[in-house]
């Protein structure tokens, strides 16, 4: 069809140019031959102009071969070097990538990974974590339609990420050929797997330690498991294994005699024929607290909220909750750090007067049974005129709240609370955590708020039914942790009797070295408004080496943060400074030794074999590279694909047509000029 159109275009151009020229030069047909040359130039010039206007096109076919893709995926984790296969892995990579037959057949690409992809020239077998799942997923081409192959050089020991046997779709046309980096012979090994203990314990109490001891071997043996603090032996217990026993659980109870952060080690005695003894010990730390926070919940009604709040607050083991009826014995305020007043009425007169007089911190929760006429007379900084009608309200998170950190608890699908309908008029200055959403309409009415009072701290929740929030959190996430942490942050803020600081630093008491230790800081101006343009730095001093390290804290929006992943195991004293002001905060943090990549004594041959079987490949050992090369070079799955691309291009480029048209018409003009015809 395109050829027919081209022919028609050329014929039309010729005809139009011929007749125009004939019309213009027919009166000179008896004249000298010079007119024939001028007519010819006119004809050719017009012909080029008409072709330029019509723009005839032709089809040009281009044929090329497309090779299948071969990805060499190399595990850079330190477990490869620990198993003694780092040099073998490098040799195999070099042999495969430089093989002439494979280069002719495939488009070869080399990718190096540990927990992330890294440049190929960074291959040092020193990665601290392994994520094979992520590496397999990211090595695929998007919308891949042609067969491809992945050669995975790995021991199969993944430390983070999902199950890598499910990294590729079952209908994927990419085949995976794992090459086992490690000795598949089962080696005798004793190691400490999981270790469970509390992060916090009270002074002069005992705390439990659960130690899971794993055994890999076929002969029965007996050994000891010990708990050390420094070089001092605290407890020792014997354990027996037989050929059918894989795990034994041992329970210890340790005395918490020294307040502060205490470091311990659980050690299983090694066996003479063990190859790997680095996994025979595991460190842990416990913060010993010399006092306990006591919280009083005061109420005259029986409600599920009371139990939910008690369980939520006491999920933090260094907090204790006592339920009190205000009509009973007099309450000793000095025994408690803060108070929760649940649905107050006239029977709360005495306790509210004492709290105001002594400027003690409290949290007031209202609901259907609250006596608002009594509360309105107490001059508490708010008023409400109820309309004797119960109303359901949904929570609406306020992202602008920065007074203290809160957990990322989603309120989008939380069940509603109930309260007496009416507008809550606020007299004092407040910070709102949650707004009200009524009948699907978002409002600026406060639901949960705290008062900014320099004398003492107060909070109000205008609604009952928080037990539903705790249950909903468990249904959505499988645990109460997010809700309990959210309530815990409010309790921590209200329990703190110290003056508010403009620089607040938070972190866990200790981290393992293979985790991601971070320190966060909140920085406020003199009016306690969050500052996002501050320049914060941290100076860390290693107690072992006395070396100082200075790092910047990065602005994360609502807080500042520094990543301490590169710190060596030790105890570090730190000071966080604000560069533009005389503000600082000091403390200490501990990094516990734990090299997860050195816990393995064998490659995970089972998982690698499952991966190969699931994705049309074969598992090979390190001494079977010739067989792997033969399969890749001879398989009919990996043949070059010939592709033809059809391009529609102009018959003659418009620049050439324009140049020819100018040339011919200029020739005609020159002949006319030369012969005195113009």
Runs of H (alpha helix) within 288-398:
304-314, 349-358, 372-375
Q: Are 628 and 620 in contact (CB under 8 A)?
A: yes
Q: Are residues 347 and 442 in the same domain?
A: yes
**Are 421 and 320 in a shared domain?**
yes
- Condensed to tens digits (0 to 9), the pLDDT of residues 291-309 reads 678 899 999 999 999 999 9
pLDDT(3) > 90: no
Q: In 158-199, at which residue ranges do the beta strands (DSSP E only) sit? A: 174-180, 189-197
Alpha-carbon distances of 288 from 198, 232, 236, 291, 505, rounded to whole Å: 10, 18, 22, 9, 20
Q: In this predicted structure, what is the pLDDT of residue 405? A: 64
pTM of model > 0.95 = no
Domain residue limits at 79? 68-184+602-639
- Out of 254, 270, 289, pick the residue that ends a domain: 289
* Band of pLDDT at residue 74, cut at 50, 70 and 90: very high
Q: Is the pLDDT of residue 644 over 90?
A: no
Q: What is the pLDDT of residues 540-589, one digit of tens each?
A: 999 989 999 999 999 888 789 999 988 888 989 999 999 888 889 998 89
Q: Are residues 404 and 542 in the same domain?
A: no
Instruction: Report the SS3 class of residue 200.
Output: strand
Place of tokens 């400074």: 577
- Are residues 266 and 176 part of one domain? no
Q: Is 343 within 8 Å of 301 (Cβ atoms)?
A: yes
The Cα-based distances of 79 to 28, 55, 96, 126, 599 in angstroms read 96, 66, 22, 8, 8
Q: Are residues 387 and 472 in the same domain?
A: yes
CATH (domain of 563): 2.60.40.2950
Confidence of residue 43 (pLDDT cuts 50, 70, 90): confident
Q: Does 579 share its domain with 619? A: no
Mean predicted confidence (pLDDT) in 514-543: 85
Mean pLDDT (whole number) for 38-63: 74
- Report the chain's terminal Cα–Cα distance, integer Å: 46
Q: Are residues 246 and 376 in the same domain?
A: no
Q: Which residue has the higher pLDDT, 409 or 483?
A: 483
Cross-strand bridge partners of residue 578 = 536, 583
User: What pLDDT was estimated at residue 299?
Assistant: 94
> Which DSSP state fits 64?
E
Looking at 495, 513, 528, the residue that finishes a domain is: 495
Helix (H, G, I), strand (E, B) or coil at 432: strand
Is the pLDDT score of 387 beyond 90? no
CB 45 within 8 Å of CB 661: yes
Determine how β-strand 189-197 pairs with β-strand 57-66.
Answer: unpaired
Helix or strand or coil: residue 350?
helix
pLDDT for the residue 144:
60
**Residue located via tokens 């609901």:** 367
Q: Is 605 exposed, middle or buried (0-12, 13-18, 19+ CB in 10 A)?
A: middle
**Per-residue model confidence (pLDDT) at position 91:** 93
Q: Kindly report the average pLDDT of the chain as a whole number.
A: 85
User: What are the contacts of 526-533 at 24+ separation with CB within 8 A?
Assistant: 526/502, 528/403, 528/452, 528/500, 528/502, 530/402, 530/558, 532/557
428 or 612, which is more confident?
612
pLDDT bin (cut points 50, 70, 90) of residue 364 is: very high
CATH of the domain at 262: 2.60.40.10
Element (H, E) at 207: strand 206-216
The DSSP output letter for 627 is: H
Same domain, 430 and 458: yes
Final residue of a domain: which of 259, 289, 319?
289
**Res 594: pLDDT:** 78
Same structural domain for residues 315 and 285? Answer: no
496-512 per-residue burial string, b: 16 or more CB within 10 A, e: under 16: beeeeebbbbebebbbb
Name the domain count of the chain.
Answer: 5
DSSP per-residue codes, 533-602: S--EEEEEEETTT--EEEEEPEE-SSSEEEE-TTPPSEEEEEEEEETTTTEEEEEEEEEE---GGGS-SS
**Would the pLDDT of 515 be above 90?**
no
Q: Assess whether pLDDT exceeds 70 at residue 143.
A: no
Question: Do 309 and 455 fall within a single domain?
Answer: yes
Is the domain of 211 the same as that of 176? no
Same domain flag for 97 and 161: yes
With CA atoms as reference, report the closest residue to 517 among 549, 547, 562, 551.
562
For residue 440, the tally of other CB atoms under 10 A from its CB is 6
Q: In what order do the strands lie in the sheet with 338-342?
A: 319-324, 293-299, 338-342, 362-366, 458-462, 441-451, 430-438, 390-397, 417-420
673: exposed, middle or buried (Cβ count in 10 Å: 0-12, 13-18, 19+): exposed
Considering only 147-156, 194-203, 204-213, which range has the smallest mean pLDDT?
194-203
Say how many CA atoms lie within 13 Å of 653 toward its Cβ: 3
For residue 142, what pLDDT band results from cuts at 50, 70 and 90? low
pLDDT band per the 50, 70, 90 thresholds, residue 441: confident
Pairing, β 458-462 against β 441-451: antiparallel
| Pick from 357, 356, 360: nearest CA to 337 | 360
Residue 241 banded pLDDT, cuts 50, 70, 90:
confident
Look at the block and give the residue holding tokens 């037990």: 467
Q: What percent of the chain has pLDDT over 70?
A: 90
How remote is the C-alpha of 15 from its chain's centroid? Answer: 71
- CATH number of the structural domain spanning residue 151: 3.40.50.410
């Amino acid at each position: 069809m395109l050829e027919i159109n081209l022919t028609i275009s050329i014929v039309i151009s010729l005809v139009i140019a011929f007749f125009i020229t004939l019309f213009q030069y027919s009166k000179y047909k008896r004249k000298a031959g010079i007119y024939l040359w001028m007519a010819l130039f006119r004809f050719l010039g017009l012909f080029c102009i008409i072709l330029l206007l019509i723009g005839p096109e032709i089809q040009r076919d281009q044929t090329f071969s497309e090779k299948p893709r071969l990805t060499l995926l190399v595990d850079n984790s330190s477990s490869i070097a620990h198993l003694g296969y780092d040099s073998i892995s490098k040799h195999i990579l070099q042999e495969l990538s430089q093989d002439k037959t494979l280069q002719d057949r495939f488009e070869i690409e080399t990718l190096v990974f540990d927990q992330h992809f890294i440049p190929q020239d960074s291959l040092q077998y020193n990665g601290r974590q392994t994520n094979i799942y992520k590496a397999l997923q990211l090595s695929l081409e998007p919308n891949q339609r042609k067969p491809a192959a992945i050669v995975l050089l790995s021991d199969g020991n993944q430390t983070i990420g999902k199950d890598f046997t499910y990294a590729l779709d079952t209908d994927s046309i990419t085949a995976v050929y794992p090459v086992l980096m490690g000795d598949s012979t089962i080696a005798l090994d004793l190691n400490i797997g999981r270790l469970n203990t509390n992060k916090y314990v009270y002074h002069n109490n005992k705390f439990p330690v659960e130690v899971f001891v794993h055994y890999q071997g076929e002969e029965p043996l007996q050994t000891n498991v010990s708990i050390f603090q420094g070089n001092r032996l605290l407890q020792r217990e014997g354990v027996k294994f037989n050929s059918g026993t894989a795990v034994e659980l041992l329970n210890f109870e340790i005395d918490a005699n020294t307040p502060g952060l205490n470091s311990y080690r659980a050690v299983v005695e090694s066996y003479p024929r063990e190859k790997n003894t680095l996994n025979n010990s595991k460190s842990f730390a416990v913060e010993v607290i010399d006092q306990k926070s006591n919280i009083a919940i005061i109420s005259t009604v029986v409600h599920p909220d009371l139990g939910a709040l008690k369980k939520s607050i006491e999920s933090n083991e260094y907090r204790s909750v006592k339920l009190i009826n205000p009509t009973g014995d007099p309450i000793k305020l000095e025994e408690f750090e803060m108070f929760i007043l649940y649905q107050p009425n006239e029977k709360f007169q005495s306790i509210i007067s004492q709290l105001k007089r002594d400027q003690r911190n409290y949290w007031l929760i209202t609901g259907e049974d609250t006596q608002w006429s009594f509360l309105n007379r107490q001059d508490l900084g708010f008023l409400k005129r109820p309309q004797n009608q119960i109303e359901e309200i949904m929570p609406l998170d306020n992202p602008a709240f920065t007074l203290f950190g809160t957990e990322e608890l989603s309120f989008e699908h939380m069940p509603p609370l109930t309260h007496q309908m009416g507008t809550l008029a606020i007299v004092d200055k407040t910070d709102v955590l949650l707004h009200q959403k009524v009948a699907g309409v978002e409002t600026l009415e406060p639901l949960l708020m705290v008062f900014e009072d320099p004398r003492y701290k107060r909070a109000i929740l205008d609604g009952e039914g928080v037990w539903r929030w705790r249950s909903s959190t468990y249904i959505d996430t499988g645990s109460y942790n997010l809700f309990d942490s959210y309530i815990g942050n409010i309790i921590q803020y209200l329990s703190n009797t110290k003056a508010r600081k403009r620089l607040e630093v938070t972190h866990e008491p200790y981290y393992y070295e293979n985790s991601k230790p971070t320190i966060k800081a909140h920085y406020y101006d003199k009016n306690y408004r969050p500052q996002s343009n501050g320049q914060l730095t941290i100076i860390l001093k290693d107690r072992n080496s006395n070396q100082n390290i200075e790092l910047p804290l990065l602005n994360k929006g609502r807080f500042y943060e520094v990543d301490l992943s590169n710190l060596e195991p030790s105890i570090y004293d730190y000071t966080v400074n604000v560069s533009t002001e005389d503000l600082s905060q000091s403390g200490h943090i501990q990094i516990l030794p734990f090299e997860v990549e050195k816990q393995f004594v064998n490659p995970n041959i089972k998982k690698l074999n499952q991966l190969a079987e699931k994705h049309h490949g074969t598992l090979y050992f390190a001494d079977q590279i010739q067989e792997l090369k033969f399969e890749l070079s001879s398989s009919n799955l990996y043949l070059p694909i010939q592709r033809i691309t059809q391009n529609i291009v102009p018959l003659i480029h418009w620049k050439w047509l324009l140049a020819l048209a100018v040339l011919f018409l200029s020739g005609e003009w020159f002949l006319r000029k030369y012969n005195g015809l113009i």
